[in-house]
Structures are given as C-alpha cells and as structure tokens.
C-alpha cells in the first residue's frame, strides 16, 4: 500500500512506536534532533537588523536533509510530531520553513505516545504556534549573544577553549558562592543534654529546651557539667501533655524538577541519567507481542495537572485495589506555579493498569526503578492523607524545662504506596503520661556538637534552587548541570558539586564585568519575559533590545580593560630557563613557558599521585574530554590507565 503521509519525529525509537500506532498509510521518519540551527563558527544573528537569526543546515546533516526531501516526494501531507514544547515547535518550523515551503505541513502534538493520544492528535492537526516559535527564537538568540561575546573574554583573561552561557553561568555562581560559604565557615561549639526518664516500665528520652524560660544555650563542656550536676537528685515532673492528630497529605504527581530531585534522593540517579531513562520510557519500550509502548507522559513539564480521564482511571484503580478508605471524596488538586505550561500534564504512567511488577521482565533495571517511582508517585497523588497521633510533653525540673514528642501512625493513607521521607513510617510512641506526675531519672546524657556549614549542592538541591529562583526551565536543568561538569567548572564528588579553581576564576571574572548577566533575579526576570513572549504579552524584538544595549556597554568596557591573568610558578622551563606559568585549555590545566610564543614548551600538571598500574612509574594527571573530567597516566600512550576518581596514593600512605 502506498503511504500517503509523512510523519517526522526526533528519534528512531519514537518513530518506531508511532509507526506501530498509525499503521499503513503513514511513513514515520526521524530528524535525529535539530537539523537546522544557528551556525557553529559565527554569531549568526543580525544585530543591526532586528536581531534576526540566520539559521542554516548544520554541518554533517545534509545527507539527512536529502533523505527527508526524498521521503516527502508524492506525500499528500507532512505531519511534524516533534516534542510538545518550544524546542519541538522550533524544530518543526525549521523543517517547514527551510525544507518544505511548498508542501502542506501541519503540527501534531501529544503528551503521551499511546494509541488513543496519537490517534486523537492526528485527527486534530494544527498550524504552527508562532508565539512559541518567537519565544524559542528569543531564547536562542539571547543564549548565542551571551556565549559568543563572553567566551572570547574568558580566553583573553584565563585560557582558550573556555566558554560562558547565559543560564549556566548564573547556576555556576550559586555553586561558587556556596563553596565560598563553606570555605569561610567557622564552626561553633554547643552542647545538648538529654534525660533518660522512666514511668513504670516505659523509658523515653527528653531534651533540655529552656533554662529560666529562655532557649537553652550551652556553649562548652564546663557549662554542661554544671547543669548536669545541678539536675542530679532533682524532681522531674510532667508540666503539660498535648495530644493532637496530624494529617500528612499526598504529594503531587511529578514535574521535571521534582522527578529529578526524587530520583536523586531515592535512586541516586543524577539529573542527566534521570532524563535519559525518562526519555526511553516516554518514547516507547518493547513489551513483547504488543511491540513498543510509551509508558509515561512527556517528561519536560512544570505542570502537576493530570488529564480528567487519567484521574478517573486512577480513582477506579485505588477503589478496586485499596478500598474506599484510601479514596478521597473528590479528586485531589494541586497548585500550578505562575507561568507554568498548563497545556502540559504531570509526569505519570500512560495507563495505571500497566503496573511496574507486570512490566519488570521488559524493563532494564534503571527503567524499572524510575518507572516504579513515577507510577507510585502518581498513585499516591490521588489517595487520602496519612494520619498520625502526636503527643508532646513538657517536663519541669526547677528552672529547667525538658521536652519530648512522639508520633504513631494511625492510618497509612497514601504512604502505603509512597514514602516521602525515604524512611520507615514514624513510630515513636511516648508512655501514657499525665500532668503533674513524677518521673524517675535514669541517666543524664550531655553531648558535644558543632555548627555545620551549609551543604554543597547535589543534583536534587541544585535543581530545587534553580526552580525556586526561576533560573532555566524544565528542559534546561539537566543540561545546565552536565555543561558545568563538562567544562570542569564544577565536579561531582560522591554526589555533591564542588566548584573548581577554574570555576571560581570564570565566575569571579563574569561577576566583576557583567554583574547584571550574573544576577539571579535579573536572569529569572528574563526567563519570565521569554514566557510572556509565548503568551503574546511581550514582543521578542523589544526584549532583545532591552537586554542588548546595557550588555554591549559592559562588553565594550570589558574588552578595553580586561587583562591576561598570569599565575607564575616556581618551576623553570627546561628548554629556555624562563618561569613556567599556569594556563587552562580544552584539556584542562597545564604549565606553559612564560616565553610563549618564542618558546612553546608546555606540560601537564600532575596530581602527585602515583599511577596504580604495576611497574608503570607514571603519575596521574587531570585531563578533560568530551565526556568531562578524568585522571590519566603521565605515561600515556604507553600506559592507558584512567579513572574518574583520584585513587589513594599507596606510596604516601605506606
């Protein structure tokens, strides 16, 4: 049968899943992502002519263009079924504008790759949304202007091969400032005192909270010893008992940011890994005779909304599997943040009837774990609250006041399927205490503590702060993190981000010369303006003009005043005797002769850690590749040892 229509999507997997749904009459092909974009080796933006972007076919994509044009021959209609966001809209528009100007090209949008959703979308194709395209073009032009003009300044000041980004550089500032807080933190000593108390045969611990009606502040061991001595042989009497019931409400279904946070907290997946696995679940998994099936809705979203039919299916499932006690009288609803893409849905299973356990044999371990997390979170989102019985007790000892609290789970509600704390449900019941009764003191336990610096960011906490501060959007969180690591501006060490020396230097230079571009609130405001372009409330040209004029003033000032930073070492060049200086390049930090370019002697900076390979004799060197930072042997290529982490130097520890 002759196929009358052509469907273009981004990936081969998605093409395979959709082809199975549409059947004969449709030829489904993949564009392999972007085919047309701004040129790689020049600005590609006509600043003097309304900031008009100069899009062209990317290098190496001409064969694919030829293939798509060939596929379009004789087709009645071309459907663009790229992802349902700005980027997907722009990818499709480029195809229509550059490749198929004389063809009938329509846009098809769906948020899940299921027979019902895909079929419904193809019954109602639409024209391209020019507001979305305007917003995406505005974002692309802004990012290109910042990257194109700031990167050469980094080359001039620090070293070639470095680059800056409009959103990534602000995220780097967050990481660097947190690192500064940690480095400058001075711990303070404090002590706590707990009393082990007994009523009949029940024991519990109470903590000293107040002295003379004020918060207990114990600064050292001497002060703690005085209090312990004073408390001995004193009467511990129950002052007040407070009882209450507390509801813990179910969490909303996942959006991109919360999925990345929970996948890190519960599965230890980094943001990039989470999105790669989620993409696989969205585009389709082969589940035996059924063939490829999309298991989750689109994974780049900031809306917790779920389709009414999905809510109805879920409520029926809860009632059938768990009973009426677990089903709220009315569906749970969740607050949508300002400017969220409400046309999108939350990340949820495409069918609640496809349980993780039933699909386990078809999923890779990582796919199974992430699908189970998404499935259980959506299931919990429409269940009743968990109910706890709480007891709080104040205990008086002359001018000292101790407190204790306990909590017991009365009804598990949503927590039967989803644990918010990644811990066992609370069960810390106090004995049945009464006001004015006297308790037996078994022991007093003083303990020394020190205040701690703020924690370094993890994938979870960095994504959370990016969302809270309005930096980036759902599609950019994972790329922001991976880009900063790839550039070696920060490193992930045991799950937490450490700003590098290079990251500090890049950040400090950009903050000094471009304070507005590096300002968190300014960046968030710019993100909102891009959203407002999509809403039709702002004009793209006006937004770009307002940004560029002050940016150009700062750029001119920086180009005139910025000077090369030279870090001179004690080491002398073994070829000409001049000092060696530290430089940064595409492969990381290295030593270069101060006499460059007359003397071109250079060498890698070693870590001082011996290569662990037997009889090698080399030392490990910091290197960078397209996959990021790693350690390699100085005897390469004779020794090919590499490691992401720096091994323990056994010669030093011996």
> Which has the closest alpha carbon to 490: 615, 624, 381, 594?
624
| Distance (Å, whole) CA 22 – CA 388 | 50
Angle at 252 between CA 247 and CA 256, to 5 degrees: 145
Indicate left, alpha or beta for 291 from its phi (over 0: left) and psi (-120 to 50: alpha).
left
**Cβ-contact 593, 582 below 8 angstroms:** no
| Distance (Å, whole) CA 193 – CA 199 | 20
Given 190, 249, 282, 298, the catalytic residue: 298
Instruction: Extract the runs of DSSP E, i.e. beta strands, from 216-312.
Output: 236-248, 285-286, 292-293
* Cβ-based burial of 76 (10 A; exposed 0-12, middle 13-18, buried ≥19): exposed
* Cβ-based burial of 347 (10 A; exposed 0-12, middle 13-18, buried ≥19): buried
Q: Which sign does the torsion angle of CA 172, 173, 175, 179 carry?
A: positive
* Cβ-based burial of 636 (10 A; exposed 0-12, middle 13-18, buried ≥19): middle
> Which has the closest alpha carbon to 257: 470, 21, 501?
470
How many Cβ atoms are within 10 Å of 377's Cβ, its own excluded? 25
| Distance (Å, whole) CA 442 – CA 519 | 56
| Distance (Å, whole) CA 24 – CA 27 | 8
In the block, which residue shows the tokens 């910091």? Answer: 622
How many Cβ atoms are within 10 Å of 167's Cβ, its own excluded? 23
298 is catalytic: yes
Q: Which residues are tagged catalytic?
A: 298
């Amino acid at each position: 049968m002759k196929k009358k229509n052509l469907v273009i999507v981004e990936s081969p997997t998605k093409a395979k899943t959709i082809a199975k749904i549409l059947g004969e009459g449709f030829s489904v092909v993949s564009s392999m992502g972007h085919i047309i974009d701004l040129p790689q080796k020049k600005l590609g933006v006509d600043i003097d002519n309304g900031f008009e972007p100069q899009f062209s076919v990317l290098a190496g994509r001409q064969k694919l263009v030829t293939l798509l044009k060939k596929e379009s021959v004789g087709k009645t209609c071309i459907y663009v079924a790229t992802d349902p966001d700005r980027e997907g809209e722009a990818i499709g528009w480029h195809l229509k504008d550059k490749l198929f100007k004389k063809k009938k090209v329509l846009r098809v949008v769906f948020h899940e790759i299921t027979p019902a959703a895909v079929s419904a979308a193809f019954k109602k194709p639409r024209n391209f949304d020019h507001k979305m395209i305007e917003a995406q073009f505005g974002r692309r032009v802004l990012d290109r202007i910042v990257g194109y003009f700031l990167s050469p300044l980094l080359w001039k000041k620090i070293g070639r091969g470095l680059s800056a980004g409009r959103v990534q550089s602000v995220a780097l500032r967050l990481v660097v400032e947190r690192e500064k807080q940690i480095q400058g933190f001075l711990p303070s000593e404090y002590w706590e005192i707990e009393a082990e108390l007994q009523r009949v045969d029940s024991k519990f611990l109470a903590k000293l909270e107040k002295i003379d009606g004020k918060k207990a502040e114990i600064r050292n061991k001497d002060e703690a010893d005085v209090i312990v001595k004073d408390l001995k042989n004193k009467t511990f009497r129950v002052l007040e008992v407070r009882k209450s019931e507390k509801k813990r409400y179910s969490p909303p279904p996942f959006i991109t940011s919360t999925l990345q946070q929970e996948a890190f907290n519960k599965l230890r997946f980094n943001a990039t890994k989470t999105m790669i696995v989620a993409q696989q679940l969205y585009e389709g998994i082969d589940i035996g005779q059924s063939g490829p099936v999309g298991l989750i809705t689109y994974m780049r979203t900031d809306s917790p909304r779920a389709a009414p039919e999905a809510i109805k299916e879920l409520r029926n499932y809860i009632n059938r599997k768990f009973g009426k006690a677990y089903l709220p009288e009315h569906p749970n609803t969740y607050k949508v943040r300002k400017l969220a893409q409400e046309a999108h849905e939350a990340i949820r299973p495409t069918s609640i009837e496809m349980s993780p356990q039933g699909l386990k044999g078809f999923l890779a371990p990582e796919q199974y774990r992430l699908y189970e997390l998404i499935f259980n979170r959506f299931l919990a989102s429409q269940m009743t609250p968990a109910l706890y019985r709480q007891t709080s007790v104040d205990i008086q000892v002359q001018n000292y006041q101790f407190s204790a609290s306990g909590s017991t789970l009365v009804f598990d509600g949503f927590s039967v399927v989803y644990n918010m704390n990644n811990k066992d449900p609370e069960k810390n019941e106090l004995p049945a205490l009464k006001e004015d009764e006297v308790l037996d003191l078994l022991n007093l336990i003083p303990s020394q503590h020190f205040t701690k610096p703020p924690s370094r960011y993890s994938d979870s906490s960095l994504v959370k702060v990016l969302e809270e501060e309005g930096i980036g959007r759902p599609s950019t969180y994972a790329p922001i993190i991976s880009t900063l690591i790839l550039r070696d501006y920060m490193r992930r060490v045991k799950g937490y981000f450490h700003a590098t020396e290079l990251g500090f230097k890049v950040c400090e230079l950009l903050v000094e010369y471009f304070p507005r571009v590096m300002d968190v609130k300014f960046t968030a405001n710019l993100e909102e303006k891009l959203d407002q372009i999509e809403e039709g409330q702002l004009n793209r040209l006006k937004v770009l003009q307002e940004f560029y004029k002050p940016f150009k003033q700062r750029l001119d000032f920086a180009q005139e005043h910025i000077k090369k930073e030279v870090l001179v070492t004690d080491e002398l060049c073994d070829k000409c005797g001049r000092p060696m200086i530290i430089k940064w390049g595409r492969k990381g930090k290295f030593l270069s002769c101060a006499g460059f370019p007359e003397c071109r002697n250079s060498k890698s900076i070693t870590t001082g850690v011996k290569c662990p390979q037997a009889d090698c004799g080399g030392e490990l060197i910091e290197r960078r590749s397209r996959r990021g930072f790693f350690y390699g042997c100085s005897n390469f290529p004779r020794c090919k040892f590499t490691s992401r982490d720096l091994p323990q130097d056994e010669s030093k520890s011996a």
